[in-house]
Structure 1
Amino acid sequence: MKTILIIEDEAHIARFIKSAMEQEGYQVYAADSSQRGLIEAASRRPDLLILDLGLPDADGCDVISDIRAWSSLPILVLSARSDEQDKIRALNLGADDYLVKPFSMGELIARVNAQMRRWQASYEAPVVLALGNVTIDLAQRQVKKNGTDIHLTPIEYRLLTVLIKNAEKVMTHQQLLNDVWGKGHNHQEHYVRIFMSNLRQKLEDNPSRPSYFFTEIGVGYKLHIPKS
């Protein structure tokens, strides 16, 4: 049984989510503070985290940072903060998805299920790919540049694998949103821009003049794999 941890200080919301997720067949644990949540995350080792940013003892973004220091489990942020900069900060720190309160339980369930499916499907066949001085081992989920390990967040890694599967093909913003984040993100093209920029910064020698990750202006992006 897949497990979910909810870190949410509003008890009625936590109970509401817990009941709905248990009906979906998940085992659910809950914590009402960041301190308790981090303890639960370390001891329970959940398959997915649902996280409120407005916690009583810490900012939820600090929880994301702490979790990402040792785990790549999917993190779905559930917050009343609707400002784009709050979303960007949480995503840059390693959150996989962001849903603004008030929310539809049906949409939350769909996003949780989508994250679980993508997490399961991210275990790839043993393939090693070279992009110049960058080596990508899909079997080991390992990326190296000049022999040095490069840390990619789970969503950066998923974006990279989608581009690899569709190498030399222009992927529209919408296709990337659907394949990486799910169909609930139709109008959030800034997600793609943020994470493509992150990939270029980490993997390109000259991010401003990329050799592999190309922008098709007004359309989307394309991964070019040079022939050896």
Structure 2
Amino acid sequence: MPAKILVVDDEISIRRLLRNTLERAGYTVVEAVDARSAIACAAAEHPSAILLDLGLPDRDGLSLIPVLRRDGDAVILVVSARDSTDEKVAALDLGADDFVTKPFDSDELLARLRVALRHRATADTAPKLVRKGGLTIDLDRRVVTRDGEELHLTRKEHEVLAVLARHSGRVVTHDKIIAAAWGGDEDPRIEYLRIVIRNLRQKLEAPDPVGSVIANELGVGYRLRTDS
């Protein structure tokens, strides 16, 4: 059965665009025009994913995220014209899986949706191996190899990379990475995280890489790019 996607947006042109894009990709689409109908539709239709606009007529979309997260297990992908760093961080911290800014590229949106759905499908059995080209991250054994050769990482580099690998393909906010990698006993500044990321990039990327293995979401966090 094709995955069912709930589109929540009060603009008919955006709903039409998203419906056409999603249906061409093989998804089943249901729609809601405001927060109230979104809650009802999510409860009745049990969608696999929700594409959520934040500028809804009856309620701010940010306040809707924890409600949808509490009442169901659908992937929540925010699709909004709001592009401030604070809004993106707030959405992710409230439980959104990803954030796509309008106007959006349809192919990128579909790719983000596929990654989020794949991650949710394997959430109960977290991936043991994460691959990107010749790079392999073995989370169980804490071993990282590139083209079959083991890379030597520091303990902190392993911990930061493990956080990103467990959420591969998805943006992880600075605060979440720091909380997971440093814990409650340490209170590092974000500069320490940037140093660890810089060192990881130098070790993980092959000479003349096509693109960075670890992508920077400016002011928000980092994303581990993986093979689609």
TM-score normalized by structure 1? Answer: 0.65
The CA deviation string for residues 22-64 of structure 1, in whole angstroms up to 9 with x for no partner, is 1111111010101001100111111111000000111001110
Q: 1:55 to 1:122 in 2, by over 3 A?
A: same
Alignment-derived partner of residue 196 in structure 1: 177
Q: 1:196 to 1:174 in 2, by over 3 A?
A: closer
Aligned counterpart in structure 2 of residue 219 of structure 1, from 193, 196, 201: 196
CA distance in 2, matches of 1:167, 1:178: 11
The answer to which of 79-88 and 109-118 deviates more is 109-118
Aligned counterpart in structure 2 of residue 180 of structure 1, from 153, 167, 174: 167
Q: 1:105 to 1:205 in 2, by over 3 A?
A: closer
- Does the 8 Å contact 1:96/1:181 carry over to 2? no
5+ residue gaps, structure 2, are: 129-136, 144-152, 201-228
Q: 1:40 to 1:80 in 2, by over 3 A?
A: same
Q: Which amino acid aligns with 2:100?
A: L
The CA deviation string for residues 63-117 of structure 1, in whole angstroms up to 9 with x for no partner, is 1021122223211001111110011111110011001111111111111111111
TM-score normalized by structure 2? Answer: 0.65
Q: 1:124 to 1:179 in 2, by over 3 A?
A: closer
- Does the 8 Å contact 2:159/2:181 carry over to 1? no
Q: Tell me the SS of whatever aligns to 1:122.
A: coil
- Does the 8 Å contact 1:172/1:219 carry over to 2? no
Alignment-derived partner of residue 81 in structure 1: 82
Alignment-derived partner of residue 144 in structure 1: none
- Does the 8 Å contact 2:92/2:98 carry over to 1? yes
- Tell me the matched-pair count: 174
- Does the 8 Å contact 2:6/2:49 carry over to 1? yes
Q: Tell me the SS of whatever aligns to 1:219.
A: helix
- Does the 8 Å contact 1:79/1:99 carry over to 2? yes
CA distance in 1, matches of 2:10, 2:43: 19
Q: 1:217 to 1:54 in 2, by over 3 A?
A: closer
- Does the 8 Å contact 2:3/2:27 carry over to 1? yes
Which structure 2 residues correspond to residues 1-228 of structure 1 after superposition, within 5 A? 1-124=2-125, 164-165=139-140, 167=142, 170-171=157-158, 180=167, 182=169, 191-199=172-180, 204=183, 206-208=185-187, 218-220=195-197
Q: 1:90 to 1:181 in 2, by over 3 A?
A: farther
CA distance in 1, matches of 2:119, 2:162: 15
How big is the shift at 1:197? 3.7
CA distance in 1, matches of 2:141, 2:19: 37
Percent of aligned pairs with the same amino acid: 29
